[in-house]
Structure 1
């Protein structure tokens, strides 16, 4: 009994196989090019295990259609990646693999990985953000994703510009939304260099922390989760968490009592593996539901 994971990112795909205990036995990655080329590699990888494969979990870049009664369920929809617009992802897999296939966003998959195995293990309410080239968020309550007519687009919440920040934001839709002000490209546009080349004591990080703290503040008042997890490349700057903690406590101003700050606003314990483990856990969940 094997389970498959497809972490479909805008830059690369990561595919993995795990045993019934969700221990990874093989993993590959390849660049995200066009569907014909990339999906051919995906299918070739899983065909090796076709007789033992029980289910596949997919976490995809988006936007995607998550409604199972929709004609375009399983599609990547209005993505900026033109070759992938209106691509029937799940349908393409189903032509080869007649097994349960779970379908969610890449950030939801990462959230589920942390919920099952990481910082959210044993908790009932988890919110996860990835802060990198873009910003996305996923929320889980009692093992269910929080979503309605579509999946959340938390990365586009509006934020109040920092008083020392003259940057207007680079989101083409909203300007000074969280992604427009705090994602990796915003840091580079503001500072003139990539985040990994900016020293920890540069004032740009206090500005960045203020936007991440606003995100945590909004999340706290909207969901009151047990934990808020910030992953992605930007949060690999280890000094960021403490800066976010300070800015968050100033913003919240003791309005509500949260869990202890160092246990409440955290980085992922699974690091870059959160999405893969989330997809595997969703695949096993789907298999158990069917059987």
Structure 2
């Protein structure tokens, strides 16, 4: 068995799979305090504990990914105050000392899509998740794009829409992309959850403008072969098309890019991207 933990800001998704990457069982529960949430994690994996060969773990961040760091495996300066400086990998190793791949939750998703989904056979795959938070990750020729730390694309600054006077939700930067376009920002701005808004609500033009800026910035900085837009917010009917229109307007024919229907897409693996990415990373780690 291989194990997956997708540690999201709103919920944890835990799963086990076999060597064929078939998901045997998967559960989810709310992200609360570390003690309460990790107790749920351990309780789920207890039944498979003797069979698990490795874990793939993707967490909300920022996280410390430097293996020679004293705080490797920690969640660091997150807006979720209960989790600041939480030793995630330390807690997991006390539970079960097996190999563990440690990365961000969006990196888990981009790995799944690059290896098994919309990005198969492409050199450079970029994934944005637009959900409770807003994050991004990319893979170039099989390796994550990172250096001293992992990317925090969701905290890049964006140009404000002319019809938007919202101050921004991010406690660190205010009107960064996460502060303007994440699920919590939408709810804070409008007083309702994103999924309750009709697809014809005028706000979606504003949302598409911010997402399109992120795709534009990634296009100029990284020149990916494909940009995959996942997360709960992207399930709104028609939003993807609005993003493509806004992106074309912002780009203004400055660069040649692939056909937009092939360049800006939804995840092929849908909600399984992070789980399958984690299971594949765990399998690869266990067989090294």
Normalising by the smaller structure, the TM-score range is over 0.9
Q: How does 1:124-273 map to 2 (within 5 A)?
A: 124-273=123-272
Which range is displaced more, 96-105 or 47-56?
Answer: 47-56
Say if 1:92 and 1:170 are closer, same or farther in 2 by CA, change over 3 A: closer
Aligned counterparts of 1:145 and 1:91: Cα–Cα separation in 2: 23
Cα distance change on mapping 1:189 and 1:48 into 2, 3 Å: closer
Partner of 2:27 in structure 1?
28
Pair 1:79–1:177, CA change in 2 (3 A): closer
Tell me whether 174-183 or 43-52 shows the greater mean CA deviation: 43-52
Paired with 2:137 and 2:104, the residues of 1 have a C-alpha distance of: 8
Output the CA distance in 2 between the equivalents of 1:68 and 1:27: 29
Following the alignment from structure 1 to structure 2, what is the Cα–Cα distance between the partners of residues 91 and 164?
47
Aligned residues of 2:209 and 2:243 also touching (Cα < 8 A): yes
Mapped to 1, the partners of 2:95 and 2:193 lie a distance apart of 42
3-state SS of 1:133 partner: coil
Residue matched to 1:73: 72
**Structure 1-normalised TM-score?**
0.93
How much is the aligned-residue C-alpha RMSD, in angstroms? Answer: 1.6
2:58 corresponds to which residue?
Answer: 59
Q: How many residues align?
A: 288
Structure 1, unaligned runs of 5 or more: none
Query: Which whole-Å CA distance do the structure 2 matches of 1:35 and 1:173 have between them?
Result: 22
* Structure 2 stretches lacking a partner, 5+ long: none
> C-alpha deviations, 1:85-144, integer Å up to 9, x for none?
222211222223232100011111111111112111221111111112211111111111
For 2:259 and 2:235, how far apart are their aligned partners in 1? 21
Per-residue CA deviation, residues 38-65 of structure 1 (Å, 9 max, x unaligned), is: 2233223323223322111001112211
Q: CA–CA distance in 1 between the matches of 2:11 and 2:197?
A: 26
Q: Report the more deviating stretch, 82-91 or 210-219.
A: 82-91
